[in-house]
């Protein structure tokens, strides 16, 4: 009995340390990606105002990827099945590539990530953990709805980015394609539709984050 308790305590400690490590790496270590989308060269044809606008939109996208890391890590931490946990961890790793692409583009534009990234991450982690407590089907439903809304958000950015900012547009298009695939995969794994008020509340929260991250 004592041995089993010690084993359980060890597993819990390992999980806590793993979550802490993921959090610190996401928020404070440079984002890295093994995949690099094929992007056109920066022509330098944007005006200073267009560059600032592109930077604001890419900062929003970067903040969204920070939130995605928090969401999926929170869901994986309390997932009821190892298969769902592995799926969520895999999705988080793919989203980490998006994070690196956005971070690199912000540097190219002479800008920076959102100063509120810790808030976006921790808030999303809490939401993900809460969704996971309700069961894998609900958790996957939360993922499906999130990706659906993110896909629409990225589509709007393709309309709003300067026409001459081909590099940012290429990154956003790659991200949009992969977000759609994540949503489809979640539905294929048994995601359930969320109750009517929840998607609306998610949209409100997303508007707060995107409106703030554009500037800060």
Q: Splitting the chain (216 residues) into consecutive groups of 10 residues, what average pLDDT does each group show?
A: 51 69 87 88 90 98 95 93 93 92 97 96 94 94 94 96 96 95 94 92 93 96
Residues 45 and 164 sit within 8 Å (Cβ to Cβ): yes
Q: In terms of Cα–Cα distance, which of 37, 43, 64 is closest to 163?
A: 43
Residues 77 and 189: their CA atoms lie apart, in Å, by 18
Q: What is the pLDDT of residue 213?
A: 97
pLDDT of residue 15: 65
Token digits of residue 130? 């809460």
Q: What pLDDT shows up at residue 7?
A: 47
Chain CA centroid to CA 202, Å: 14
Q: What are the distances in angstroms from CA 28 to CA 21, 98, 119?
A: 10, 16, 13
Q: What is the pLDDT of residue 178?
A: 93
pLDDT, residue 44, reads: 81
DSSP-derived 3-state class of residue 24:
helix
Fold exhibited by the domain 50-213: Ferritin (1.20.1260)
Of the candidates 127, 125, 119, 74, the residue with the CA atom closest to the CA atom of residue 213:
119
Q: Provide the pLDDT for residue 12.
A: 57
Q: Spell out the domain ranges in the chain.
A: 50-213
Instruction: Specify the pLDDT at position 41.
Output: 86
Angstrom distances, CA of residue 92 to CA of 44, 163, 207? 33, 30, 22
- Residue 1 confidence (pLDDT): 60
């Amino acid at each position: 009995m004592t041995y089993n308790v010690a084993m359980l305590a060890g597993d819990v400690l390992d999980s806590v340390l793993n979550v802490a490590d993921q959090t610190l790496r996401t928020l404070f270590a440079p984002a890295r990606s093994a995949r690099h989308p094929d992007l056109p060269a920066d022509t330098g044809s944007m005006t200073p105002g267009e560059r600032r606008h592109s930077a604001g939109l890419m900062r929003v996208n970067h903040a969204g990827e920070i939130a995605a890391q928090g969401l999926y890590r929170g869901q994986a931490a309390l997932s009821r099945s190892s298969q769902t946990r592995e799926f969520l961890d895999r999705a988080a790793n793919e989203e980490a590539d998006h994070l690196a692409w956005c971070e690199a583009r912000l540097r190219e534009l002479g800008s920076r990530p959102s100063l509120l990234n810790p808030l976006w991450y921790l808030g999303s982690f809490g939401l993900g953990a809460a969704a996971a407590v309700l069961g894998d089907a609900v958790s996957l439903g939360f993922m499906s709805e999130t990706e659906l809304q993110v896909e629409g958000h990225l589509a709007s950015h393709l309309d709003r980015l300067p026409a001459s900012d081909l590099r940012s547009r290429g990154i956003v298009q790659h991200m949009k394609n992969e977000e759609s695939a994540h949503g489809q995969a979640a539905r294929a794994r048994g995601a359930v539709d969320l109750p009517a008020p929840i998607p609306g509340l998610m949209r409100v929260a997303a508007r707060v984050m995107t409106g703030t991250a554009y500037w800060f």
